[in-house]
Copies of this chain bind each other. A is one copy, B any other.
Amino acid sequence: MSAPQTTLSQRIRDEIEGLIRSGVWPPGHKAPSEAELMAQYGCSRMTVNKAMSALAEAGLIVRRRRAGSFVARPRVHSAVLDIPDIQAQVLARGETYAFVMLDEGRRAAESDEEAELARGQDLLVFRGLHVAAGRPFALEDRLIALAAVPEAADADFASEPPGAWLLHHVPWTEAENRISAVGAEPEAARLLALDEGAALLAVERRTWRAGEPVTWVRQLFPGEAYDLVARFGPAR
Residue ranges of A at the interface with B (Cβ–Cβ < 8 Å): 21, 54, 57-58, 78, 80-81, 173-183, 197-202, 221, 223-224, 226-235
Contacts and interface: CB of A to CB of B under 8 A. Distances in A.
* Nearest 9 Cβ contacts at the A-B interface: A181-B223, A181-B181, A181-B201, A179-B228, A199-B199, A181-B199, A174-B233, A177-B230, A176-B231
B227 A179 contact: yes
A176 B202 CA distance: 20
Copies in the complex: 2
A128 B224 CA distance: 24
14 contacts: A81-B81, A173-B233, A174-B232, A175-B231, A176-B231, A178-B227, A178-B228, A179-B229, A179-B230, A180-B224, A181-B181, A199-B200, A199-B223, A201-B201
B232 A175 contact: yes
